[in-house]
Structure formats: structure tokens, C-alpha cells
A and B are shown apart, each in its own frame.
Chain A
Amino acid sequence: MKGLLLNQYYSNEKSIKGSLILSFVITTILLLLPYKQTLRLAAFLPFAIMVSPVLEGLKLEAMSGWNKFLITLPLKRSRVIQSYYLFFSILLCMGFCVGILSFMLADFFAKDVLTESALMSVLKGLGMTLIMGGVIFPLTYHVGVEKAEKIMTISTVASLGILVFSGWLYEETIGSAIMNHFPRVHPDFPFSILFLGISLMMFIASYVVSIRIYEQKEF
């Protein structure tokens, strides 16, 4: 496992460093803009930018043939999948740290950036990125990296779609009841937590599906 993670780090070293700087700068700029809409984007961007090297890494591995060589190593195939999901999760945590740092910095210059609403947006951004990862991995193993652009589009649409749909479902079903029971809680908090939970479950389910696909795959 350590070897696989180290390989992923070496392979993506430059883009990880680039993503760290890029996500910090863009997020901070977006937060300093005097528009409310940019806050939502700023909450999602650090995650999306930080995990982008993973998909690029999958492409590079397939092109170099390393994914075939991996099968000949003394490793179970599930270990390979584990390493990808773990690497993705590490990058996601880095995205979270970058996001928080950007919010803190922006809050220092312009007050009222690091608010409860901002935290809710960050949770939703985290959930959306988890869904994207959950769609990208199994689809890439199933249809191949040649269709990476399509897979990226599908994963983005899926994460947005699930966010909007679950938001609508929440409002239509338990939303008002929860607000009546917990009137002092931020109105967006229960849904943000629920959405993060759903995303996490989808990510775990995607991990199981990816292992199944990868175990049947021929190289």
C-alpha cells in the first residue's frame, strides 16, 4: 500500500503542488469578491481542484501501462483500488484544509466570510466531490480512461443533480418537521449533514463496485 501511495505521489507531485497553490489563490479571490454567489463556488473549488490529479493519474497510468504491471506485483487487486480511494481521500482532506485556510484569510480581510452558512457550503462542496469521485472511479475502470472527459462531465452532472434532487426531497419530506423540532439550529445544517452522509455512503458503495469491476478486468 505504501508503495502504491508513494508512486501516486511521485506521479502527481507537480500537479498536487500546483493544485494547492491554485485552489488557495482562486478560493481566496472568490471569497473576497463582493458577490454572494461566489461563496458557493469557493466552497466547492478547493475540493474539485485538489482531487483533479487523481483522474489525471489514472490516465497516465493507463497510458504508461503501469496498470498492467501492477497486476503482476505481489498485491491483491483490491489493494490497488484501496490505494486510489485512499489517495483521493487524502487529497480531499488537503482540499478541506486549503478551503478553511482561504476562508480564514478572506475573513481576516473582509469580515463575515467564515460564517455558519459558509461552513454549510463547505460541507456540501465536500459531499459533491465525494459523489464525483464515487462516479469517476467505477466508470473509469469500466469504460476506460479514453473517455475521461465524458466521465468528468457525467460525474459533475451527477453530483449537482443529486444535490438538487436531495435538497428538493428534503424540503418536501422532513425539512419543515426538523426545523420545528430544532428551531435554534442553522436552517441549512441538517440537510448539509444529511447530504454529506449520503455522499459518503455513495463513495463507500462506489469503492465496493470498483473492486468488483477491477477484479474482472483484463489487461
Chain B
Amino acid sequence: MSVMLEIENLSKCFSGGKTVLRDVSFSIPRGTIAGFIGDNGAGKSTTMGVILGTLSRDGGSVKIFGEEMDSNKTHLREDIGVVFDQMHLPKQLNIKQLGNVLRLLYKNWDQDIFEYYITFFSLPIDKKIGDFSRGMSMKLSVAVALSHDAKLLILDEATAGLDPSGRHDLLQVLKGFVEDGQRSILLSSHITSDIEAIADVLIFIKAGKILLQVSRETLMSRYAVLQCTDKEFEQIESSLVVGYQRKSDQVDVLVCDLEQVPSSVVRKDFSIDDVTLLLMRGEHV
């Protein structure tokens, strides 16, 4: 399975010396949806900004379709669809005018597909984009991202602000996007249920550092959240511990191999939300 996006040792400091990304490395295989999970300020948007080139990087590499990303490699951007956490389209235009503009900017712009998504999302063609609600704006941004035959979608909180039916529609569209196994998505969202619904790969980031990259299948089948006493916790091999959170009289522990943990230790049913909370609030070995 070839890799669509490969990030290696990415580092980024903002002016004032604040380090926001520390040796961030992860990869997204072809045909997968990767959920990018982390608290506010964890570095998700910064990572995406560095991938897209809206932010510079201080170190590391970004390879897209095996090629090092560079501001001059415009052909790579032809194949990347982008949705930011807010609509970043010219607000004075209407959809018709926007289509006319983007048709001239993307070589592979497909007006029929654009019109299909505009109809699918029930967006008005003649209304000024600036008058759209947040939900409509996000749908329009997604329609744009899907209309130029992109191979990789980078979506930063694209589902935020959508009503439940809008979210459902969007998630179905995204699932359909990777169906042929030739395209991939990097999707960040605060709504872990969205990620749970569609992501094949999960990437957890905290304070600019990647804590875990794992396939959802492996996480749910091989990983476990244990509820143990301090004594039991000490007996667990440290290489198995991904993260832990001390509570009043117990320790919640995320381990990477359920089989290697003594069967006497209590296992908890868990969701991606539980793992997220444990990793974000807890400590790491």
C-alpha cells in the first residue's frame, strides 16, 4: 500500500520562540481516511498549515505522493483539496462566479461535479457567499475541494458547524471519496464520533508531539484500556504502556497489546473518545 502523505520530523516555532511542533512524523496510506485528533492548540492546524505551505517549517520534510512538498511545486497542489476550519472563499462572489474563477485556476476543475455537489448540499447559486451560514460555508468549501479531482483531502474541522443531517451527508461523501482506494483524507475534528464513523487510521497529537498513530482496527482489537491498582500498574511492562491517567484510587492505562497483560487486570470497554481523553489528559511513558 503506497503512502500518499509522509511527514517526517516536522518542527515549527512561532515568533517568540514558542515551539508548536516537535518532530512530528506520521504517514497516510493510499485509500485511507486518517483522523487527526488533539485538543485545541495541540498543533493540528499548524501541521496542516505546514503541509499546505501557508506556514513555513523550521525542520523536517513533507512528502506528498512521494515528492517533497515545496512552494514552487504547484502541480502537487493541483491534487490537494483543502477545507479550513472557516470558509476562506471570496465573500463578494456568488457560487456561479466562484465556479467561473476556480475553473480558470485549477486545470482539472470539473464544473459538472461542482454543480452536482452544490445541488447535493442544496446551496443557492445566486446568493452572495458572504451571506451564507457557517454550515452552508463549510458545505461550499467541501464542494470546492471535491471538484478538481484531488487525490488528497486535507480537512481542518470540516464537520464543525454542520447540523446532524449535514454532517451525515458530508461523512457519506468523504467515505465515497476514498472508495476507489486511490485517494486519501487527513481529517481533524473535535467531534470524535465523526472520526469514529469514517477514519481508518488515527493520529493523536498533544502539545505539538505525535503520541500515537494506529489503525482503528488495531486500536479496537489489540489495544485495551485497563483499570488497575498502583501495584498492578507497576507490574505492566513499560513498553506496553501508551498512556496512563491516575485517578483517586486507580490508574487507567492504555496498553498496545492486550494479550501481554495479565488476565487478572480489569479491562474497560472503550471508545475512541475514551482513548482521546486518556491520552490528552494523562501521562506518557
Contacts and interface: CB of A to CB of B under 8 A. Distances in A.
B235 interface: no
B66 interface: no
Interface string B44-59: 0000010011111000
A74 B105 CA distance: 7
A43 B130 CA distance: 37
B272 to A, nearest CB: 28
Interface stretch (A63-71, A119-127, A173-181): A63-71
A76 B102 CA distance: 15
B71 interface: yes
Interface string B134-176: 0000000000000000000000000000000000000000000
B74 A66 contact: no
A218 interface: yes
A183 B195 CA distance: 81
Chain A interface size band reads 20 to 34
Interface stretch (B27-35, B77-85, B251-259): B77-85
Contact of A6 (B53, B55, B104): B104
B107 interface: yes
Contact of A74 (B89, B92, B107): B107
A7 B55 contact: no
The 7 tightest CB contacts between A and B, nearest first, are A3-B104, A65-B88, A3-B105, A69-B88, A74-B78, A74-B74, A219-B54
16 contacts: A7-B93, A10-B90, A10-B92, A10-B97, A11-B93, A60-B90, A64-B89, A64-B92, A66-B89, A66-B90, A69-B82, A71-B52, A72-B53, A74-B74, A76-B72, A218-B54
Given A3-B103, A218-B49, 19 more contacts: A3-B101, A6-B101, A6-B104, A10-B92, A10-B93, A60-B92, A65-B87, A65-B89, A66-B91, A69-B82, A71-B52, A71-B53, A72-B54, A73-B105, A74-B107, A76-B71, A76-B72, A215-B71, A219-B54
